[in-house]
Amino acid sequence: MAARPNWIAWVFVGLVFVCTPSMGQQVVILGVAQDGGYPHIGCAKACCRKAWQDESRRNHVVSFALVDTLQASWWLFEATPDITRQLERFQQLTGGAYRYLPDGIFLSHAHIGHYTGLMYLGREALNASQIPVYTLPKFADFLRTNGPWSQLVLLNNISLKPLQPDQPLHLNETVSVTAFTVPHRDEFSETAGFSIRAGTRKILFIPDIDKWAKWNKSIIDEVKRVDMALLDATFSSATELPNRKISEVPHPLVSETVSLFNAQDQQTRQKVYFIHFNHTNPLLWDEQAQADLLRKGFHLATLGAIL
């Protein structure tokens, strides 16, 4: 598997996507990197060196668009620091067939890669009007009562829409989103995962969680219930941060997740799409590591992919 994007293939997929409105609901991957992006600030090591030198190797922070082609509607999951480029990429991939701004933005938690893109909706930049922003209640309170986010609310750039855990929100007749809490470092907000029903498809999105064993649900059972699962792949192994305690930034290692699913059948494993890669994770940039994982029956979310 090539490390750099296959732009020709993705442009072709994008054209098919635009020209086939009967396809229903789709997921468009707009970023797969951890909060710091790729290449990572201050990193001159081998993992980022080629990306500094070659822009085609760069990647955006984790985000995707949920698109309903039948209703000409779309929703953005996560507002990242790369939102400007991600909105433009969405327009390119869909041939400008949809409104520039989404019908709503769903945010998982208050870590920098997942919500700070909201700033570009403010009067210093786009000066948007009443963009619905869906979060769990504690996160909504954080945005409402802390600057500069509170200014977005005050000036009606965004309209906060608190979600209730485990209660589905029906966006239209065929699309609904259910937020649920997962254990993570909740300094400013809860951390949400999302269960999405899009037509006949069910999609699971958990970009950040401490460890699968700390959750009160079985990740294996949850994956079996859906058609596609976008799961936390921040670190591949525990040796990636030699100068930091990896216990301070807990995530399920990809090796741990693979081990959990190794006993499952191919049909279950192929539902898993790893996403949210730290710049140190070889699955983001190493062809051999990518190929090895694919041979085990799993998938890697890739920038520009339409699923």
pTM value? 0.91
What is the mean pLDDT, run by run of 10 residues, along the chain of 307 residues?
A: 37 37 81 97 95 96 97 97 98 96 98 98 98 98 97 98 98 97 94 97 97 97 98 91 74 96 96 98 96 97 97
Q: How far apart are CA 96 and CA 114, in angstroms?
A: 25
Radius of gyration for the chain, computed over Cα atoms and rounded to the nearest angstrom: 18
- Would you state the pLDDT for residue 23? 65
* CB-based contacts of 110, cutoff 8 Å, min separation 6: 139, 142, 187, 188, 189
Residue 113: what are its φ and ψ, rounded to 5°?
-75, -10
- Would you state the pLDDT for residue 249? 77
Q: How far apart are CA 302 and CA 299, in angstroms?
A: 9
Residue 266, helix vs strand vs coil: helix
Question: Are 60 and 9 in contact, with CB atoms under 8 Å apart?
Answer: no
Residue type, 281: N
Percent of the chain as helix, strand, coil, to the nearest 5: 30, 20, 45
Q: Work out whether the CA dihedral 155, 68, 98, 89 comes out positive or negative.
A: positive
Residue type, 100: Y
Residue 168: how many CB atoms within 10 A of its CB? 14
- Span between the terminal Cα atoms of the chain, in Å: 18
Q: What angle do CA 294, 300, 304 make, to 5 degrees?
A: 135
DSSP state of 194: E
Residue type, 241: L
Q: How far apart are CA 105 and CA 181, in angstroms?
A: 18
Q: How far apart are CA 223 and CA 30, in angstroms?
A: 22
- Would you state the pLDDT for residue 12? 35
- C-alpha separations of 164 from 77, 118, 139, 271 in Å: 17, 21, 12, 27
Residue 43, helix vs strand vs coil: coil
Residue 83: how many CB atoms within 10 A of its CB? 25
Residue of 144, 141, 169, 170 lying closest to 157 (CA atoms): 144
DSSP state of 165: T
Question: Are 260 and 212 in contact, with CB atoms under 8 Å apart?
Answer: yes
